[in-house]
Chains A and B, each alone.
Chain A
Amino acid sequence: MKRLLNTLFVTTQGAYLCREGETVVVRADHETKLQVPIHTLSGIVCFGRVSCSPPLMGLCGERGVLISFHSEYGKFLARMHGPVSGNVLLRREQYRRADDPQSSSDIARSVVLAKISNCRTVLQRTLRDHPSNPNASALKKAAGSLARLLITLQESIALDVVRGREGEAARIYFNVFEHLILAQKDHFYFRDRSKRPPLDPMNALLSFLYAILAHDVTYALESVGLDPAVGFLHRDRPGRPGLALDLMEEFRPILADRVALSLVNRQQVKGKGFKRTETGAVLMDNKTRKEVLVAYQKRKTEEIQHPFIGEKVAVGLLPYVQALLMARFLRGDLDGYPPFIWR
């Protein structure tokens, strides 16, 4: 399997990244904070006021290292990549299938099915690890509703119906998400999902993790030659990475929600690490952000059995494996897109 390369996250405000030979140098406060060889990196993610020199961007473009820029909250702003790579036949097939309602809904159905099943596994894990959870019955009920929704996805349905089912599942899941928070309940609670901007610490945490995940999935898609912008479940909208968002669905529960919950439940992040601004928008401080990134990177190194390919895979490579499976399906090697199901 492809080596799990590192992502360099830069959160220091005012940092300047530049090239020195075959290395990336991070400068801040007039000194060199870090120097890493380019070949050990798969991506560079910048948060807030961070800048990059053109020669460094050139080096990254040449080596297929994706640079993305995010706001301080983690909201995606822009990304930089080198020459378009990969297979034109593959991309054309991707566009043809995206134009075809039947193909689109079949792929979307696979993705949504995996997302719902993985959300359900998140609920089941909490039930299993904390049998005395006072809200066990609500969690059980939600898991049951999700299982029933899954049955309705077994046969071909129109894309709009798939989207409706997804919305229903998200409602059921986020309705009981509150019950998955088992510690620091006065700081971390969950009423509903708010994104622009996140209005409470839990939402800030989730948004930040989703942004990083989107970067990873986008990079994985680009590395196999797919166009991250053209999706099946998510339709084209300029500036929106439709296919990256599609592929992300199956990973949100595993790679983001679980990481956020365990950071809170193990008290690795604290309420005081979040600042409520005058508009109600909630911001994370630098220390918290680092804590989240470390936990995310750690999660990526864990190994997991892939139920379709039947091999052990590092969690961090899952987006890449799924991107490959999507490409192999579009090129006719598989009779459908097999999403990742977490067990």
Chain B
Amino acid sequence: MDDRMETVVAGVALKNPVITASGTFGSGREYGELIDLNCLGAVTVKGVSCEPWKGNPIPRIAETQSGMLNSIGLQNPGVEHFIEHDLPFLRQHDTKIIVNICGHTLAQYCAVAERLADCDVDMLELNISCPNVEEGGLAFGTAPRMVERVVQAVRHYTGQPLTVKLSPEVTDITEIARAAVSGGADALSLINTLRGMKIDIHRRRAVLASKTGGYSGPGIMPVALRMVYEVCKTVDVPVIGMGGIATFEDALEFIMAGAAAVAVGTANFHNPYATVEIIEGIRGYLEENDIASLDKIRGIVD
């Protein structure tokens, strides 16, 4: 254990600030064949709903310049499957478990939170920002009063530490952040993907079956960083920064903008060792610059 890498998010002590971003890492099983999951600060699992969700039609993936679009539609086998199969697997590892939860209705969000309330997980991440589901997702995440209401409702059903994942598709991210905190969020995760599109000029139609999808990758990082910076200046709860992080330098930018921790998503597809390399890179930076803890540089940019 390297003390200078430790960070605390919503009362949960992480051995280092590097987390996997929901939806890019499954429940860790597949990447666990390549990397040592024990070295991660936390694993955020793919969105879990109370019932199984089939997901969206194919094609679901499109590459863009320095980024990608996805429209998976939160396909998942449901919370019971997660508790039975994925949770025991993850628990064998020395890493924290953050469960991303999703729903089409307020009642569904509450049901999955309630089901997980007594389970051995470390934190819930409330996904009110997925651009790829018709009901729920973004519909809950873009109006401050709705955000406050859904967070409050879920809060009622769980005592687990709760982070709320925010969409960048809003006029003022700080307003949404304040609403989530006022609803009872212990932490905030931002940003989710931006809505994007790609057209195949030869077939003269959208590449994705659902026409539009969530845009992620290095291209969105400046937007994500700006929003993390603004939110960290506005609220007192810790922020998990994410959006296009691919290198340790990227991760340090988020920490200097005020993030308590960072999540790595699309970079996992490009390089399955991205998280490991980022952890080593941050450690190296702290050692070289003789920085005793992440607190010394967190939010250092005013």
- Judge: A and B partners, yes or no: no
